[in-house]
Structure 1
Amino acid sequence: MWRLVAVSIIWAFSFGLIKGKLTGLDSGLVASIRLILCFLCFMPFIFKVSQQKMRLRLMLLGIVQFGIMYLAYIQSYQYLPAYLVAVFTIFTPFYVIGLNIIFDKNSRNAKALTVALGAVMLSIAGAAVIVFKAPGQDEFLMGFLILQVANIAFAIGQWNYQRWADQSSNAGNMAWMYLGAALFASLFSFPQLSWSEIVISDEQILVLLYLGVIASGLCFYLWNSGSKQVSPATLAVMNNGYIPVAVIASIVLFSEDVDVVRLAIGGGLIFLSVVISYKTRIAASAA
């Protein structure tokens, strides 16, 4: 659980950095650089996974969870302001729980399903209270649809990783996933770039290093390994756990106007949803 909380805190700073510091850079280039940095960080662990079949499976999973997700996620910033990117990521828990209901017959137990859906709804309600504003751009629908592709890809990746990835080789798992994602993103975006026109400032290089090594490389490792230690309901809820911290970061670091009352109410709802799902998991284990 502590891994998911730590990642939520770190991820909270990414919205402002991407929108404020990387404007003007091609979205495919940004996604590819982040994923290449991820792979380089975990490359020393690549031989921890020895089975060829597992390597291929992890690469395919990485293409979905990180490659498709990042290409869509970064592209959505071309159509949406940062606050709407935050708004539209609140639907990810629906996809996580939906996958669980469809493919895991044990989750169809009426009591477990009610608790899971209740916790997710509380989380989504809390996130919406904090960040929802009426869209102010004509292109918001396109941004919304693109971002839902990212949300679905991320949900599919973490849901599958939680169930079949080997807990003893998380670092090796991530190396192969990042390799697949980096190759996919690079092959998709690099041929479309006008390399002679690309200019990256020193500040943008530092931001890319932070996002690639810390916010992506380290945090996705912690997130996927942490996902194996919590219930599907808690995992779904924690997909919105970064939002209260993101708002606090916006107040302190990015000087954005925030409704403190909405922050308190929404943060309380998200915290309550985490408590409910986590306590339910403990009770179920004890039974």
Structure 2
Amino acid sequence: MIYLTITTLVWAFSFSLIGVYLSGQVDPYFAVLTRILLATLVFAPLLRPRHLTLRLAGQLMAIGAIQLGVMYVFYYHAFLLLTVPEVLIFTIFTPVYITLFHDLLAGRFNPGYLVSALLAVLGAAIIRYDGLSEQYLVGFLVVQGANLCFAVGQVAYKWLLARQPRPVPQHSVFACFFLGALLVALPAWWWLGGSRYPSTPLHWGILLWLGLVASGLGYYWWNKGATLVNPGALAVMNNALIPAGLVVNLLLWGKAADVPRLLLGALLMSLALWLNERWHARRRQTVPGCA
């Protein structure tokens, strides 16, 4: 749990750094490419091919391409459509996706989880019930794309490492994760990137922090932590980032927000997740071997 907790504290600042200083000022494709390239440089010297098979390397690259590469493309565009608090609130769906994908891999399904997801959607609508613009709705869907990629990557990494014939030193193979993400970020920037490059030392400093620490160390710590906890704990820790990120955004940056409506929407989403956990706990009691 310590790995997930440390990463949560680090990532809590990332939302505001992107939303306040990079969104609309630096091309999102370039920002994504820079973060992933820096993270790759952190772990490339640690790569030890003797701990890899071609199959494992390919699987790690595929997970990195989805969890980091495709997710970042969605994630950065969300800040062009939504405020930082809205992006944070809408990440609350990730635990539901984690539960559903984990059940899919395990070969079981509980329709009750869909009820919790629909309740969470209602909470999201309440946050902006008087301003459901097309941009807002598109932004909501963009965040869900990021959530789904992040959830699939976490669960897939956990399952992959748990099914290796012998323990794998994760730091010695994690460069493959970033190389897979780079295979998405590089062509995305080449084909779709714009001309808004970092123009101040602050821009470059934030990208260095995000690339070396938030992405490089952060994703290693997070995925390593995911292999050490059960799926329920992993789902809960995905939501710990929300209050931490909101505190940073609302207090340190002084960003205005409709706090009562934000809290009401978040309360409904939290109720959805509580119901999700209740169904999950009940299933563990009634289905032998249910994780």
Q: Same fold (TM over 0.5)?
A: yes
Partner residue in 2 for 1:252:
251
> Is 2:85–2:246's contact at 8 Å kept on the other side of the alignment?
no
Map 1:185-200 onto structure 2 (within 5 A): 185-195=185-195, 198-200=197-199
Tell me the TM-score normalised to structure 1 length: 0.80
**Are residue 150 (structure 1) and residue 156 (structure 2) matched?**
no
Deviation of residue 147 (structure 1)?
1.5
CA offsets 1:135-169 (integer angstroms, 9 cap, x no match): 56430111111221111111111111011125532
Matches within 5 A, 1:196-215: 198-215=197-214
Q: Which amino acid aligns with 1:184?
A: V
Structure 1: gaps of 5 or more residues? none
CA displacement, residues 10-50 of structure 1 (integer Å, 9 cap, x when unaligned): 11111111011103211111111111111011111222543
CA distance in 2, matches of 1:251, 1:144: 20
Per the TM alignment, residue 54 of structure 1 is displaced from its structure 2 partner at its CA by 1.2
In structure 2, what is the Cα distance between the partners aligned to 1:43 and 1:2? 24
Counterpart in 2 of 1:229? Answer: 228
Q: CA 1:148/1:194 → structure 2, altered by over 3 Å: closer, same or farther? A: closer
CA distance in 1, matches of 2:12, 2:230: 23
Cα 1:213–1:137, aligned 2, differ >3 Å: closer, same or farther? farther
| Structure 2: gaps (5+ residues) | none
Pick closer, same or farther for the CA change 1:92–1:261 going to 2, 3 Å: closer
User: Counterparts of 2:127 and 2:38 in 1: how far apart (Å)?
Assistant: 33
2:67 to 65, 68, 72: 65
Whole-angstrom distance in 1 between the partners of 2:68 and 2:245? 21
Report the secondary structure of 1:21's partner residue.
helix
Note closer, same or farther for the CA distance 1:133–1:58 as it changes in structure 2 (3 Å cut): same
Q: Structure 2: how far apart are the matches of 1:225 and 1:161?
A: 9
Deviation at 1:200, TM superposition (A): 2.6
The letter for the 1-side match of 2:192 is Q
**Structure 2 CA distance for aligned equivalents of residues 262 and 146 of structure 1:** 19
Matches within 5 A, 1:97-112: 97-105=99-107
- For 1:88, the equivalent position in structure 2 comes to 90
Distance 1:199 1:164 in 2: 37
For 1:55, the aligned partner's letter is A
Contact map agreement 2:28 2:193 (CA 8 A) in 1:
no
Aligned length: 271
Given candidates 64, 78, 81, the residue that maps to 2:80 is 78
Alignment check: 8 A CA contact 2:71 2:150 kept: yes
Show the counterpart of 2:11. Answer: 11
| Alpha carbons 1:89, 1:147 under 8 Å: kept | yes
Once the 2 structures are TM-superposed, how far is the Cα of residue 8 of structure 1 from its aligned partner? 1.4
Q: Distance in 1 between matches of 2:235 and 2:33?
A: 27
Q: Secondary structure at the match of 1:239?
A: helix
Where 2:98 maps in the other structure, the secondary structure is helix
Letter in 1 for 2:67: Q
Give the aligned partner of residue 177 of structure 2. Answer: 177
Name the CA distance, whole Å, in 2 between partners of 1:138 and 1:121: 25
Change (3 A) 1:143 1:13: same
Q: Does the C-alpha gap of structure 1 residues 99 and 180 become closer, same or farther in structure 2, counting only changes over 3 Å?
A: same
Is the 8 Å Cα contact of residues 87 and 132 (structure 1) preserved in structure 2? no
Counterpart-to-counterpart distance in 2, 1:158 and 1:41: 20
Question: Would you say the 8 A contact 1:158–1:227 is kept in 2?
Answer: yes
* Offset of residue 221 of structure 1: 0.5
Give 1:132 deviation, angstroms: 4.1
Aligned to 1:140: 136
Alpha-carbon distance in 2 for matches of 1:44, 1:178: 13
Give the Å deviation of 1:190: 2.0
Deviation per residue, 1:208-244 (Å, 9 max, x gap): 1111111111111111010011111111121111111
Distance in 1, Cα, partners of 2:132 & 2:20: 18
Structure 1 runs (4+) deviating above 3 angstroms are 131-138, 191-195, 257-263
